[in-house]
């Protein structure tokens, strides 16, 4: 029977969309910081609205997206394989390039096996929902990335969330859990807003004590920190003690896609059971070739990791000296806390006018009253770039009453 109130039903289902007006309101004020189209880029600088600005908000940590070698690698394989795979890895979409990359990543990450996904988001969503079922419990850090959250939501497993990096809270939850249930602890290795590391040694110890698996999402860690760029567990020499490590290719590896490494039996299970893997078209050949070349460059040019660490320490120290609150960042991700949402948008706009592009992050991504601009750095930033960024922050910070001329913070926030 037809719905006699069809028009009313239609209006109800879309009402939330028509009620969403905040984006248009911010646009009318000229303060909208999102979906800015880049007209050109060489990595460290970009052209936006006809202006050249320094990019201080990219995850291009090693500076390889515009490297002539990665560009050539992508171009070279197109003549052999074409522009796409037109199918899933499960059926017609597996290339010898995919197998080569999986083998090389497994060796690099010192694990038995590797499986590729078409995006980093799919990697976590598809792996978590596959490995944890109705008889299992997932213990997830409250500040984990959205793809982990979605993975737990679509899983049939029970999910409990522990307070961010709070190991005592995690211990309490593990102790209360059903003894016979399968357990897996899931955490970002580097948290993408704060730039802080997970407490990997404590996570390893708790996983062993309670017989739980341990899964780290190292999207912002592999190719960024640790032994040879092997990520958060390698910082502590604990690669062998983490069961599953995921990563992405959209950051240090200058491409798009993701991967998961671990024991061969577990990886083969995920390869054959994950809907995100078997029902998605595989990574295009140019993307795979780019990652292969990036992995080669990462291993042959250790100066990139050294320079990235040098830059991170320099910017963190100098932003603090200017009076800014950068939380407890430990990586190339350095947040600068501004305060209220509208002030954050104004701060972002003024930085842009000063020739610096960063990312505005507002609630609910961060707590109320702690809106921030997220900065991130790459190995190819020059000292001149860095000092221009600092000069812009000083000018705009003083203008908005966040710092004073003597390097003192003028906002009082709990961190």
Choose the catalytic residue: 111, 183, 220, 381.
Answer: 220
Choose the catalytic residue: 118, 140, 192, 232.
Answer: 192
Residue 220 annotated as catalytic: yes
* Angle, CA 85 vertex, CA 80 and CA 88 arms, to 5°: 145
3-state secondary structure the chain: CCCCCHHHHHHHHHHHHHHCCHHHHHHHCCCCCCCCCCCEECCCEEEECCEEEEECECCCCCCCCCCHHHHHHHHHHHHHHCCCCCCECCCCCCCHHHHHHHHHHHHHCCCCEEEEECCHHHHHHHHHHHHCCCCEEEEEECCCCHHHHHHHHHCCCEEEEECCCCHHHHHHHHHHCCCCCEEEEEEECECCCCCCECCHHHHHHHHHHHCCEEEEECCCCECCCCHHHECHHHHCCCHHHCCEEEEECCCCCCCCCEEEEECHHHHHHHHHHCHHHHCCECCCHHHHHHHHHHHHHHHHCCHHHHHHHHHHHHHHHHHHHHCCCCCCCCCCEEEEEEECHHHHHHHHHHHHHCCEECEEECCCCCCCCCEEEEEECCCCCCHHHHHHHHHHHHHHHHHCCCECCCCCECCCCCC
Neighbours of 314 (CB within 10 A): 16
Residue 192 annotated as catalytic: yes
Of 219, 259, 246, nearest to 376 (Cα)? Answer: 219
Across-strand partners of 262?
113
Choose the catalytic residue: 111, 251, 293, 385.
Answer: 251
Active centre residues (catalytic): 192, 220, 251
């Amino acid at each position: 029977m037809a719905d006699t109130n069809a028009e009313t039903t239609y209006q109800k289902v879309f009402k939330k969309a028509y009620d969403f007006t905040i984006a248009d309101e911010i646009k009318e004020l000229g303060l909208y910081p999102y979906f800015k189209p880049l007209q050109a880029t060489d990595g460290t600088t970009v052209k936006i609205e006809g202006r050249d600005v320094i990019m201080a908000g990219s995850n291009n940590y090693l500076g390889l997206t515009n490297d002539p070698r990665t560009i050539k690698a992508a171009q070279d394989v197109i003549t052999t394989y074409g522009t796409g795979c037109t199918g899933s890895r499960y059926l017609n979409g597996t290339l010898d390039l995919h197998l080569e990359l999986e083998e090389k990543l497994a060796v690099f990450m010192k694990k038995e096996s590797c499986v590729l996904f078409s995006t980093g988001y799919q990697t976590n969503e598809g792996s978590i929902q596959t490995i944890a079922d109705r008889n299992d419990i997932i213990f997830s850090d409250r500040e984990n990335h959205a793809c982990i959250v979605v993975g737990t939501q679509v899983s049939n497993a029970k999910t409990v969330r522990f307070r961010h990096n709070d190991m005592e809270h995690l211990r309490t939850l593990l102790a209360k859990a059903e003894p016979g249930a399968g357990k897996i602890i899931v955490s970002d290795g580097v948290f993408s807003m704060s730039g802080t590391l997970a407490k990997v040694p404590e996570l390893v110890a708790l996983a062993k004590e309670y017989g739980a698996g341990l899964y780290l999402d190292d999207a912002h860690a592999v190719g960024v920190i640790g032994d040879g760029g092997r990520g958060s567990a390698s910082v502590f020499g604990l690669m062998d003690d983490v069961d599953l490590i995921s990563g992405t290719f959209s950051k240090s590896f200058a491409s798009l896609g993701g991967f998961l490494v671990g024991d061969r039996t577990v990886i083969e299970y995920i390869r054959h059971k994950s809907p995100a893997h078997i029902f998605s078209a595989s990574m295009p050949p140019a993307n795979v070739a780019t990652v292969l070349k990036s992995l080669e460059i990462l291993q042959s040019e250790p100066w990139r990791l050294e320079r990235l660490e040098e830059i991170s320490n320099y910017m963190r120290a100098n932003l603090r000296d200017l009076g800014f609150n950068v939380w407890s960042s430990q990586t190339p991700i350095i947040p600068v806390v501004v305060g209220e949402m509208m002030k954050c948008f104004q701060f972002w706009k003024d930085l842009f006018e000063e020739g610096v592009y960063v990312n505005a992050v507002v609630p609910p991504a961060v707590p109320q009253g702690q809106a921030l601009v997220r900065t991130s750095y790459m190995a190819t930033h020059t000292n001149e770039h860095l000092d221009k960024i600092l000069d812009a922050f000083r000018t705009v910070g003083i203008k908005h009453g966040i710092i004073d001329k003597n390097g003192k913070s003028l906002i009082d926030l709990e961190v």
